[in-house]
Structure 1
Amino acid sequence: MTIAVGDSLPEATFMTPTEKGPAPLSTAEVFGGKTVVLFALPGAFTPTCSAKHVPGFLAHAEALKAKGVDTIACLSVNDAFVMGAWGRDQKVGDHILMLGDGNGDFTRKVGLDLDLSSFGMGLRSRRYALIARDGKVAALAVEPNPSGLDVSSAEAVLELL
């Protein structure tokens, strides 16, 4: 079952890259008491994700913050090392929090997993964006096509805020 507007985000532990190596962050630490835009995608360094999704949120980071967003987070079913390398490649700096959901625990719990085994990629996340306020889903936009970028783009999220 897919998470819906009004639902609380499930407890999970993400791994995030830091200067000292991967560090755990709980759902409560990421979302508690804040307005967070979380955008999730099938994989780091993949075409649409690298060419459009992350760059769009990076380009609109200030506009999102001006609308009351405390944190912009990017989630992928990749490990923290990959998310760190991808964040450096995309030059996200401290504008986007890179979250590794390496085992796909959070992704499965919110019901937005995607089996890309036929492409040799295994379990991944569907492409989506959500707005959470104090750990509750205020808006959710899931792309019908994994390579599409219509409803989960930074521009679409700005419209939802």
Structure 2
Amino acid sequence: MFHLGKTVQLSTATAVRSFHTSKAVFLFGSGVIKEGATLPNHTLFENEPKNKVNTKDLFAGKKGLLFGVPGAFTPGCSKTHLPGYVNAASDFKKLGYDTIVCVTVNDPFVCQAWAKEHKAEGKVRVLADPDAKFTKALGLEKDMTAVLGNVRSSRYAMVVDDNKVKKVFVEPDGTGLTCSLSNSVLDAIKKGDLAK
């Protein structure tokens, strides 16, 4: 988030006071990344902290899918969201989308164990965003401190082409299991319902 500000002076009978006003200006308008925008450049981690993955490299010259989940090993993420993309990986590949990435605000070791449990290797790359910097850059963070202990990711999915966001699916409450699921994204691709 960037701030544009100006200094305002107010005069009273006894003193002149100055204060700074600032208006929040989000990189993508309302805060959430928009269709047609370029993915922000950040470092994620795969399997362990030494394996750094640059987000720009994930989709450079490629068509793919990016989806975010509130947390590895949580019920909706483990029973529905990740398995749906693992099972649909071949369907997406037939349509020319061979890069599927799941991002979660967990440490890389947890992500590695979660990916292994769901047999995601070769189908979905499960990447860690431990400090939520990438998630915040997308404008998709959600405070889940009361339940999960910290800020996590809202549940979302995106269709990406050469780092350009072609379609964004964000769950209205940030955690539901509707528009961001693999079948919804597949339907949108098949219908050609993507930003030009």
TM-score of the aligned structures, taking structure 1 as reference length: 0.95
Tell me which residue corresponds to 1:99. Answer: 127
The runs of at least 4 consecutive aligned structure 1 residues that moved more than 3 Å come to: none
Displacement of 1:120: 4.1
Q: Which of 80, 84, 109 is the equivalent residue of 1:56?
A: 84
Unaligned stretches of 5+ residues in structure 1? none
Q: Distance in 1 between matches of 2:50 and 2:102?
A: 15
Tell me which residue corresponds to 1:85. Answer: 113
1:8 has 2:30 as partner: no
Q: Secondary structure at the match of 2:160?
A: strand
Q: Which of 146, 164, 173 is the equivalent residue of 1:145?
A: 173
Which residue identity does 1:148 align to in structure 2? G
Displacement of 1:160: 1.6
8 A Cα contact 2:89 2:98, kept in partner:
no
Deviation string for 1:138-157 (max 9, x for gaps)? 00000013431110000001
Q: Distance in 1 between matches of 2:110 and 2:50?
A: 10
Deviation string for 1:36-77 (max 9, x for gaps)? 101110000000000000111111110011111020111100
Unaligned stretches of 5+ residues in structure 2? 1-30, 190-196
8 A Cα contact 2:154 2:175, kept in partner:
no
Deviation string for 1:13-54 (max 9, x for gaps)? 010117xx7400101211111111011100000000000001
Deviation string for 1:124-143 (max 9, x for gaps)? 00000001100010000000
Which residue identity does 2:172 align to in structure 1? P
Which residue identity does 2:160 align to in structure 1? A
Q: Secondary structure at the match of 1:69?
A: coil
Tell me which residue corresponds to 1:17. Answer: 47
Q: Hey, which of these two has a bigger chunk of strand by percent?
A: 2
* CA separation of 1:15 and 1:35: change in aligned 2, threshold 3 A: same
8 A Cα contact 2:44 2:54, kept in partner:
yes
Displacement of 1:119: 1.6
Answer 1 or 2: higher relative contact order, Cα 8 Å, separation at least 6: 1
Q: CA RMSD in A?
A: 1.2
The structure with more radius of gyration: 2
8 A Cα contact 1:22 1:80, kept in partner:
no
8 A Cα contact 2:56 2:163, kept in partner:
yes
Aligned length: 159
Identical-residue share of aligned pairs (%)? 38
Q: Hey, which of these two has a bigger chunk of helix by percent?
A: 1
TM-score of the aligned structures, taking structure 2 as reference length: 0.78
